[in-house]
Amino acid sequence: MDTSSGSDSYDRMRTHRPRGRETHRKSGRDRGRASGSGIDGPPADISEKISTLANTLQDTSRNLTKVDRMLGQYREHTDDQAEAMALLRENLEESISQLQAQRLSRANGTRSASASASTLHTSDLDACSESEGQRFYPTSPLKDYTGTPGRRRRSHSASVRFKESSLAGEDIHEMHQSLRDLRCNQQRLSDDLDREILRRNRSDIDTRRAMESLTEHMTASQRQDSVSSRVERRLQELQREIHNEQRSVERERRPEQRVAMSDELQEALGRRQVQSHERDEDMTARLLKAEREKSKMEQELDRARRLLEQSEDSRESLAQEVEDMRCELLRTKKENTGLQRARLETSQPSAQPHGNHSDREGGRAGLQDRSDLEKEVAELRVQLCKVSVQSEVEELRRALNQKEKERVELSLQVKELSSDLAAREQQQLRMLEQLRDIQSRGPAERREMEALLQESTRSRDELKARAQEAVRQWRAKCRRLQKGLDEAQAQVQFHTDEASQAAREKGSSQAQLKALSQQTEAARRELAEILGRLAQREEELHRKDVELSETHQRQLSLQQEIREVREASATLEEEARHQAAILARLREENQRLEERADTQVRRCQRDQDAQAELQAALKQMTTARAQLAQRLAEEESSRKELHKGTSELQAKVTALQEERDALSQQLQLEREVHQKELDNTKATAEDSRIKKDREVQDMLRLCRQERDEMQSHLREVKADAASDKELCGALHVKLDRMKDECDKLAAQLSTKDEAYALLHRKYQLLKQELEDKVRSGERRRASESELVKLEQKVLQMEAEQEAVLTSMGEELDAACHSLARNGEDKLQAISQRPSLVKDPHRWLAETKTKLRWLCEEVRDRDTREQRLRRQHQQTRDQLKALRQSRDSEQATLLQRLDQQEKLMHSLSVEKKELLERSRRKEDEMRSLQDRVLDLEMNTRVALDHLESIPEKPCLMENFKDLEESQQQRESVEQRYTKYKEIVWDLQHQLDESKRRIQEYRDEKLDATSRSLRLAALSSSIKDSNTFLSSSLRSDTLCEYAALTAGLLMASW
């Protein structure tokens, strides 16, 4: 049973619903205010009283249902207690039967057996059933039984005498001792059971007291002792008893642990201890359960007490309302007597002219003929008035029905529009959330891109630094080689100087020149290849630059698109705010229309009969329930949509996290690839360095070989110097030329080396830029994929926006069509085109024009209303001209007064019958309360009798008392069900009386209005024409004001 919700609803009802006296005071104030304004005050007061009566009856029904639930829980609790007691009873009977079987099997005719031959029955557990001499006490040292006066502990020698030599005697003695110990344990268990039964009886007594307090609250709310204090005292007593029992058990267990026993007895005692421990645990668990249930019962009793106080307040309000009804009936009687007196006064002056006319006998015939003609003319006029008024009333009723139907349709359309607008607001909110997510993703992605660019720049700088270091190393190596070449050239020059004397220097120089020319050609080829590769690298770098520029342009376009999306989201937010304001206005207008409709329905209900009013009220209640059910369904659907939105957002968040993980993995892979490429470049650089070192060593080896060959050749030339002296001049000239050419070649080599170093630098830079471009290309591909996704999302959002705008335009068109009757051409001119949805500014202009058209339509309706008012004024004038027959209307009014007097008489008779029934019910309630008080007295006498019984009663008698208490509880529950049926009958009778009172009030309102008219007639008999004109004016004003209000409401 969920008591929290019930208590919350109850507190809410107590806070929001006014009490009976306060409503009576408010109704009295409203009555005093309405008495000066008109006749609309008393029915409002009566409706408020009826609503308060219905609320009090609903509260009493809820309280009764809650009390039913509490009694059902209490019944279940008592059933559980009865089952537990039955289980305890069965366990005791089984233990007693087992002990009886053991005793019969072991009693074999010995003295000890004869001494302890008394069998064990349930009467052995009784403390007061037998005398002290007949009771058998145990001789076990486990417990001290010296508490009973006039009793001595029996010694072993007094009960049994065994021979010390016989082992059988010792066995019998031990068996007898074990039996007595078992008896001691059994008595201990019986004491525990007695305590538990006493505790249960006390708990039952407490529950009975709680029920008595409930009945006392039903009879009178001035009880002193509360149930919570009793429950707290009982809980404190239970806690004390539990502590005492635990202490006694600890005291009993201490000597048990010290005593040395045989193995069999120890095993038996161990089993008994385990069983007693389990039982103690069960008992403690049950005690805790009982305490919890008692706390729950305490809370429920407090709630029941509050509900009873509320029901008492409602009863007081009902009594006050009955007194008000009596006062109103007395007032109506006084008014009837006043009307009768006024009628008598009006009949007296009308009799005087008849007496005067009776004195004149000469002109009696002419006067009679004239009066007959006047009567016929008046009857014809009355018939014409009735026919015209009936036809006009029927036409007005038809128009009202049509306007009510139109109003209902408009209200349904407005509700549909409000629901659609709410759904669209939710969609717009979702779109805004998506845009915010995209906006939040944009800076994050931009940061990631910036971080990647920074990393790429850092790697590029590092590669540049490494390339510069490598170029420096190559320069140093080239300088070293150049120094070696210079040394070699110096040696060659030295050798040439030596060989200038020889003739063979020419061949050697030619050979050297050929070798140098070959080397220069190879260097030229290598330079051409390097230049081609550099050109290719430059082309690739140009391509990468173009791609980078394209990526930058795409990034700028993306930023521009993001800005456009932000602007579109801002416009959407503004549109959503505008739509929310329009919705608020529509809701306010709807509320105004509903208020006007309610006022129109009330005025129409006053003119109808009581049965029609009841049917209309029932229809309104059913429609209100249907509306509430629809609202609840809409709220549930909105809640489900919100849950779906949250789930979609969570899915999107998970997808974003997955994308982020994928991007992080890609970055890690790119870093690994970059590291591998760096390792490869390092390996290639080392390989090239090793190759160049080998080439330099080969060159040095060749130079050394050539030097050796030149030295041998110089020796040969020295030998042949004499023969070649003549050719020395020419050879010197040629050598000078060759030196110049060698210098030129050396300069060319130096320039080529510098160009090679520059080309190598460019190669490294191009390689680094190429790697950066590759990375940027991969990033660009990733960004392109993300851009494609973003474009798809933007397209989806644009499609959703178009759908929302189209649906809003359709709804506006539907509203315009529903309002437009004669302005179809204007609507065709204003109607939207499907291409306007893509242009939001034009769409806003269209919506503004439509709203202006709606305002114009409303103005047209105002003009129509003014026209109807003019027509109403004309009809009023016609009605004033038609209503001129005073005598016929007086006769009809007198007939109606007679009918009202008859109705008042019948109502007074019915009221008397209702009062008699209420008195009978009150007598029955008093008799029931007397019975409950008698039961309480009987229960108290029984409890006093139970408390007068000694502390250790018999188990069987306790079980009988429990059964009797259960029977009494069942009888109380039966009486409660009877009382509940009586209360339901009273409630039904109250509903019937409420319906009759409503009918009587309606008839009383009609009677009061008619009595007021008669009083005005009696006061202004002399001025009949003026009175007729004024009364007709007031009646027509009241009726046609209601009719015009209804027409206006229907038009709105």
Q: Total domain count for the chain? A: 2
Residues 576, 648 within the same domain: yes
Task: Return the percent helix, strand and coil in the chain, to nearest 5.
Answer: 90, 0, 10
Average pLDDT by stretches of 10, the chain with 1052 residues: 41 42 43 42 62 75 76 75 76 76 66 41 40 40 41 41 48 70 75 79 76 66 50 68 69 52 60 71 74 72 70 66 69 71 60 47 56 66 66 71 75 75 75 73 75 76 75 76 76 69 64 69 70 74 77 76 75 76 77 76 69 67 73 75 76 76 77 77 78 78 77 73 68 75 79 81 83 84 83 83 78 74 52 54 77 80 83 77 68 74 76 78 76 74 63 53 67 71 72 73 69 61 46 46 45 44
Looking at the fold, whether 183 and 319 belong to one and the same domain comes out as yes
Is residue 782 within 8 Å of 445, Cβ to Cβ?
A: no
Q: How far apart, in Å, are the Cα atoms of 1045 and each of 592, 840, 865?
A: 13, 40, 10
Same domain? 426 vs 310: no
- The values of phi and psi at residue 121, to 5°, are -125, 180
CB-based contact 238:291 (threshold 8 Å): yes
CB atoms within 10 A of CB 225: 10
Distance CA 417, CA 811 (A): 7
Residues 130 and 263 in one domain: yes
Decide if 1027 is inside a domain. no
Query: What gap in Å lies between CA 627 and CA 606, rounded to an integer?
Result: 25
Residue 148, SS3 per DSSP? coil
For residue 382, being part of any structural domain is answered with no
Q: What distance in Å separates the CA atoms of residue 605 and residue 598, rounded to the nearest whole number?
A: 10
Residue type, 466: R
Alpha carbon 782 to its chain's center: 41
Show the tokens assigned to 273: 């201890």
Q: Is residue 360 part of a domain?
A: no
| Unique residue bearing structure tokens 């009726």 | 1039
Task: Please tell me the distance from the alpha carbon of residue 667 to that of residue 651, in angstroms, as a whole number.
Answer: 24
Beta-carbon-side half-sphere exposure of residue 692 (alpha carbons within 13 Å): 13
Q: Do 311 and 411 lie in a common domain? A: no
Domain boundary among 994, 1009, 1024: 1009
Q: At what angle do helices 505-607 and 840-882 cross, to 10 degrees?
A: 10
Instruction: Specify the pLDDT at position 901.
Output: 75
Report the distance separating Cα 809 and Cα 341, nearest Å.
Answer: 70
**Domain for residue 155, yes or no?**
no
Residue 836 is given by DSSP the state G
One-character DSSP codes across 696-730 = HHHHHHHHHHHHHHHHHHHHHHHHTHHHHSTTHHH
Q: 175 near 106, Cβ under 8 Å? A: yes
> Does 327 share its domain with 419?
no
346 within some domain:
no
Coil vs helix vs strand at 582: helix
In a domain, 836, yes or no: no
* Cα end-to-end distance, the chain, whole Å: 50
In a domain, 814, yes or no: no
Q: Are residues 662 and 773 in the same domain?
A: yes
Q: 799, 819, 834: which is the final residue of a domain?
A: 799
Q: Map tokens 């291409």 to a residue.
A: 835
Res 129: pLDDT: 38
User: The tokens of 521 are what?
Assistant: 């050609």
For residue 375, the one-letter residue type is K
pLDDT of residue 44: 60
The C-alpha atoms of residue 254 and residue 537 are separated, in whole angstroms, by 102
Rounded to two decimals, the pTM is 0.19
Rounded Cα distance between 606 and 44, Å, is: 11
Give the separation between CA 127 and CA 118, rounded to whole angstroms.
Answer: 16
The residue behind tokens 């008397």 is 912
- 641 shares its domain with 509: yes
Count of other CB atoms within 10 angstroms of residue 462? 12
Asked if residues 115 and 188 have their Cβ atoms less than 8 Å apart, the reply is: no
pLDDT at 821: 56
Whether residue 808 contacts residue 445, with contact meaning beta carbons closer than 8 Å, is answered with no
683 plus 566 within the same structural domain: yes
Same-domain status, 625 and 730: yes
Domain extent at residue 319 = 3-146+161-338+920-1009
pLDDT of residue 136: 40
Indicate if 113 and 214 belong to the same structural domain: yes
pLDDT value, residue 1002: 75
User: What's the confidence (pLDDT) of residue 289?
Assistant: 75
Place of tokens 């029934």: 917
The domain boundary, picked from 773, 799, 825, lies at 799
On whether residue 899 sits in a domain, the answer given is no
Tell me which amino acid residue 995 is: R
Same-domain check for residues 527 and 647: yes
